[in-house]
Amino acid sequence: MTSRLSAEIAAAAARLVVEEGLEYGQAKRRAARDLGAGDGRKLDLPSNDELEEEVRSYIELFCADSQPQELRALRELALTWMERLAEFRPHLTGAVWRGTATRLSDIHLQLFCDDAKSAELALIDRGVNYHVGAMNGPRNEKIDVLSIPAKCPSLGDTVTVHLSILDHDDMRGALKADGQGRSPRGGIAALRGLLEGES
């Protein structure tokens, strides 16, 4: 059962996700602080599913006219990069895959590589500028994240494309559905299917 404070945090965090492009964890912590509830570390914060529900409600209320076009532009840009990196079995995840992205959202792609450095070498060979970061991977080990500033002509803006470099073996179970029967990511064919369905 969701507490009243948790529900308030979810509503405030949803606004931050949509209006400022914050990631879920960052949005929940800031919303907790903004509501005077501390930094969120010891609080019963809303789950990502609860926050996503609030994000969808917020978009429906305040962004229904613009968000579908912005989402399509981001999905088309994601598909372009997935096709460029097809050799690394790219999968789209995050808000662009789930349908809650706006023009402020980043694109998150997961690459499944036999050699962790192969994707980086491919970007170098193609003259692509990128920044190297890190995050926790599926087995709680640090993985490289390559971030690319990519022009999105449809939005008239630059969008950050994050490439999470995963081991080829991590593909096992990658398409396993969540508790609500939704896949947390999709490959090139799945994304093309979404775009065709929107046409």
Nearest to 107 by CA among 91, 120, 127, 126: 91
Residue 14's pLDDT is 97
41 confidence band (pLDDT: 50, 70, 90) = low
The string of pLDDT tens digits covering residues 106-123 is 999 999 998 889 999 999
pTM of model > 0.75: yes
Tokens 């950050």 sit at which residue?
160
Closest to 136 in 3D by CA, of 114, 166, 91, 160: 166
The domain 67-174+181-198 having CATH identifier 1.25.40.10: the answer here is no
pLDDT tens string 46-73: 999 999 999 999 999 999 999 999 999 9
The percentage of residues in the chain with a pLDDT greater than 90, rounded to a whole number, is: 76
What whole-number distance in Å separates Cα of residue 122 and Cα of residue 11?
41
- The answer, yes or no, to whether residue 1 has pLDDT greater than 50, is no
Give Cα 18 to chain centroid, integer Å.
Answer: 13
Instruction: Report yes or no: 111 and 119 within 8 Å, Cβ to Cβ.
Output: yes
Domain definitions of the chain by residue range: 4-62, 67-174+181-198
Helices 4-20, 24-34: inter-axial angle, 10-degree rounding? 120
